[in-house]
Amino acid sequence: MHKERFMWTIKDGRKRLDITKIRSDFKTVSQDGVHLVCPKKNVWDWEEEEKWLRSIVVDNDGFIVSCSWKKFGNYGEFTTDTSCLDKALETGRPVRFSHKEDGSLCIRSIINGKVVFRTRGTLYGGEPGEDGQASFGDRFRAIAQAKYPILLDENWMKDRSLLFEYVAPANTIVIRYKSEDLVFLGFVMHDDFQIGKWQDLVTIADEAGLNLVRLHNLPTDPVKIMEEVKTWKEEGIVARCEDVKGNLDQNFVKIKSAHYLANHRMKFSMKYPTIVEFIESANIKSEVQLIAELQACDYDWEIIESAKEFYKQYVTICQEVQEIQDDASNLTKEFFLTRLDAERADPLVRKDFATLACKQQGMVRTMMFCLYDNKLDRINNLRRKFILSGGKRR
């Protein structure tokens, strides 16, 4: 148990954060009497109380002045969250499938009396890019000025953080967008971390003219949902449902399409040979060990899910190449059992062995000659090439 269980208190009905009780996996950046708290890197053993530390800003008294969504995961990643979704689907309780936009999170809050547009991990929207590109905060503000001026009103929605997805042609992750926009995702109340219910989002979007994230109509069976979403050419969905206490729209679970995951892997160089090198360099002997090593290296959930599939492929190919080597070894042993007095240097003996070896399939034949000549390094090289090629060199 982490001491973080005691980092939250309540004063005058408002949540307070004691930043001195945050563990070392999180960092604090302080400026102008406010303090940004976020993970130093990917955190895997999230305590429930820590999930709000994904990107939160508090004042000197620990009261929240800006926050992003709490940490939520993919289907199957966090057991409790996934169970809430399964239960809601099973019992017919409301579940809303909002579109998963493929952009960058924009958090609109009022900090020290001024409107601030920031993204996760930044206090005031970040710095300009090295290529002279405007900071995320400046880009968010420009869209607000052009399309949603109410967001610039310092007296509007001061008690909450409004959350948007910033999408733009120049901000492509995997999915390409034709135009720049802020898609309204919802809000979080600062006093008690209540997430805005869907009907509240509809009302705000209508009154303020915001571009509300769209909903999808999907089956109520988790398996059928996964089957349908996986065929999409877009990123996927965020399922919004009741939390463990039965509070509506407070629990989020991501479900992503196979197309998106495949393209994400390609973009970030998640390939089978890469995982093989990682497995062998770390002397990994099990899937559990693989997951632990990848987590320690700060790989995210999608990468680890991909790596698990590559690991299964790796194990299968290792078994296959071992069977090939065993066949070659057994055939070679059987040959010499029939030629107990044979000398390997004898040309006639080698000719008879070659006749036997050439009757075998590719790699078995090659390994037999290696065994005959005691070229063990050559066998190891053959094994490695076979494994790295995905089993294609027989």
Q: Which residue range(s) make up the domain with 1?
A: 1-67
Tally of CB atoms within 10 A around 333: 10
Q: Are residues 238 and 354 in the same domain?
A: no
Q: Are residues 358 and 299 in the same domain?
A: yes
Q: Are residues 159 and 222 in the same domain?
A: yes
Task: Report if residue 285 sits inside a domain.
Answer: yes
Task: Report if residue 264 sits inside a domain.
Answer: no
The alpha carbon torsion through 327, 333, 339, 345 (nearest 10 deg) reads 90
Looking at the DSSP assignment, which residues form a beta bridge with residue 57?
Answer: 36, 66
CATH no. for residue 172?
Answer: 3.30.470.30
Cβ-based burial of 69 (10 A; exposed 0-12, middle 13-18, buried ≥19):
buried
Q: Are residues 172 and 106 in the same domain?
A: yes
Task: Report if residue 241 sits inside a domain.
Answer: yes
Q: Are residues 367 and 297 in the same domain?
A: yes
Q: Are residues 82 and 137 in the same domain?
A: yes
Quote the pLDDT of residue 152: 98
Quote the pLDDT of residue 388: 87
Phi/psi for 390 (5° steps) reads 80, 20
Quote the pLDDT of residue 269: 67
Residues 6+ apart with CB under 8 A from 175: 102, 234, 235, 260
Model pTM score: 0.75
- Chosen domain end from 42, 67, 92: 67
| CA-based radius of gyration for the chain | 29
What are the pLDDT tens digits along the chain (394 aa)?
A: 444 458 999 999 999 999 999 999 999 999 999 999 999 987 888 888 999 999 999 999 999 999 999 999 999 889 999 999 999 999 999 999 999 999 999 999 999 999 999 999 999 998 887 667 899 999 999 999 999 999 999 999 999 999 999 999 988 777 889 999 999 999 999 999 999 999 999 999 999 999 999 999 999 999 999 899 988 988 999 999 999 999 999 999 999 987 787 667 656 667 888 888 888 877 889 999 998 888 877 677 878 888 899 999 999 999 999 999 999 999 999 998 988 777 888 889 899 999 999 999 889 999 999 999 988 888 988 888 889 888 775 4
Taking CA atoms, 150 is separated from 18, 90, 124, 196, 233, in Å, by 33, 40, 19, 18, 34
Task: Report if residue 163 sits inside a domain.
Answer: yes
Task: Report if residue 113 sits inside a domain.
Answer: yes
The alpha carbon torsion through 76, 82, 85, 89 (nearest 10 deg) reads 50
Quote the pLDDT of residue 296: 76
- Chosen domain end from 208, 232, 257: 257
Q: Are residues 145 and 285 in the same domain?
A: no
Q: Are residues 113 and 238 in the same domain?
A: yes
Task: Report if residue 30 sits inside a domain.
Answer: yes
Domain count along the chain: 3
Residue 246 DSSP code: -
d(CA 23, CA 45): 12
Task: Report if residue 139 sits inside a domain.
Answer: yes
CA 75 to chain centroid, in Å, comes to 11
Q: Are residues 224 and 286 in the same domain?
A: no
DSSP-assigned letters across all residues of 271-329 = -HHHHHHHHHHTT--SHHHHHHHHHHTT--HHHHHHHHHHHHHHHHHHHHHHHHHHHHH
Q: Are residues 9 and 56 in the same domain?
A: yes
Q: Are residues 84 and 176 in the same domain?
A: yes
Quote the pLDDT of residue 4: 44
d(CA 311, CA 288): 11
Cβ-based burial of 207 (10 A; exposed 0-12, middle 13-18, buried ≥19):
exposed
Q: Are residues 380 and 280 in the same domain?
A: yes
Q: Which amino acid appears at position 135 of this protein?
A: S
Task: Report if residue 262 sits inside a domain.
Answer: no
Buried b (16+ CB within 10 A) or exposed e, 300-313: ebbbbbbbeebbeb
- Chosen domain end from 225, 257, 289: 257
d(CA 332, CA 328): 6
DSSP-assigned letters across all residues of 87-113 = HHHHHT---EEEE---SEEEEEEEETT
